[in-house]
């Protein structure tokens, strides 16, 4: 992760920040942090999960949407980019003509771990999403072949780890039928 030359920026400035590049940044304590471009494996896993969540939203007629790479404000001068966020239609309407950075907690956030994001996904985002009161957070880890589902209980996440042929158990999507191996196979171009 490389920091940009900008020394300090507010959340409001972050919403309209454009350095003329196609780089993506997270805002961490008023500083822009450059996000490395994801691998193809990362994109394929995210796409597979997005399609599965979209299909379940449609099947159940939930008034929700699933977005890839939207932002979520996690502090005064802090904003994270999520791999996937499930949000309500009402949350989406509030941002229809604005930057896609949600200031209220998404129903579900999914992060796909890459070698440079291990600490960020398991530690920093976990505590920030809990403080924001995101009810469910998935850490999809192709490096270790596991998916951690974190459910918010009394301000802290309770973690359940799923591997191999186990079905992901989701409070947000109780009838979801995705097996862990399916997720990681999607990232292998099999």
**Residue range 93-109: average pLDDT?**
95
> Is residue 106 within 8 Å of 135, Cβ to Cβ?
no
For residue 103, is pLDDT > 80?
Answer: yes
Q: What is the pLDDT of residue 190?
A: 65
C-alpha R_g of the chain:
16
Residues in the chain: 190
**Residue range 150-165: average pLDDT?**
98
**Residue range 128-147: average pLDDT?**
98
Instruction: Output the CA torsion sign for 99, 70, 92, 133.
Output: negative
Higher per-residue pLDDT: 187 or 7: 187
The β-bridge relationship of strands 101-102 and 84-88 is unpaired
For residue 23, is pLDDT > 70?
Answer: yes
Residue 87 CB coordination number (10 Å): 23
Q: How far apart are CA 88 and CA 57, in angstroms?
A: 11
Q: What is the pLDDT of residue 7?
A: 72
For residue 14, is pLDDT > 70?
Answer: yes
Task: Please state, for a pLDDT cut of 90, what percent of the chain lies above it.
Answer: 91
For residue 5, is pLDDT > 90?
Answer: no
The mean pLDDT of the chain is 94
Q: How far apart are CA 25 and CA 36, in angstroms?
A: 9
Domains of the chain: 38-186 (3.90.1570.10)
For residue 4, is pLDDT > 80?
Answer: no
Q: What is the pLDDT of residue 189?
A: 80
Q: How far apart are CA 129 and CA 123, in angstroms?
A: 10
Angle (nearest 5°) at CA 77 between 122 and 110: 30
> Is residue 77 within 8 Å of 29, Cβ to Cβ?
yes
**Residue range 13-19: average pLDDT?**
92
Residues in CB range of 121: below 8 A, 6 or more apart: 111, 113, 139, 141
Tokens at 144, concatenated:
């270790």
Reduce the DSSP state of residue 111 to 3 states and report it. Answer: strand
Q: What is the pLDDT of residue 10?
A: 94
β-bridge mates for residue 113, sequence order: none
Q: How far apart are CA 117 and CA 124, in angstroms?
A: 10
Confirm whether pTM is higher than 0.75: yes
**Residue range 164-184: average pLDDT?**
98
Q: How many CA atoms lie within 13 A of 43 on its CB side?
A: 6
Q: What is the pLDDT of residue 22?
A: 85
């Amino acid at each position: 992760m490389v920091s940009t030359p900008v020394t300090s920026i507010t959340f409001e400035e972050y919403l309209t920040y454009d350095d003329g590049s196609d780089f993506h940044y997270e805002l961490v304590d008023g500083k822009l942090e450059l996000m490395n471009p994801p691998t193809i494996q990362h994109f394929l896993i995210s796409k597979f999960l997005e399609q599965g969540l979209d299909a379940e939203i449609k099947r159940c007629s939930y008034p929700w949407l699933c977005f890839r790479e939207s932002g979520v404000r996690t502090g005064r001068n802090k904003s994270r980019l999520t791999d996937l966020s499930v949000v309500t239609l009402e949350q989406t309407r509030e941002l229809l003509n604005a930057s896609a950075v949600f200031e209220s907690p998404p129903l579900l956030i999914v992060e796909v771990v890459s070698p440079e994001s291990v600490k960020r996904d398991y530690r920093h985002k976990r505590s920030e999403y809990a403080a924001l009161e995101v009810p469910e957070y998935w850490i999809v880890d192709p490096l270790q072949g596991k998916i951690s589902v974190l459910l918010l209980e009394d301000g802290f996440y309770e973690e359940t780890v799923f591997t191999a042929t186990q079905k992901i158990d989701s409070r947000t999507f109780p009838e979801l039928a995705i097996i862990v191996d399916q997720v990681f196979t999607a990232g292998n171009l099999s």
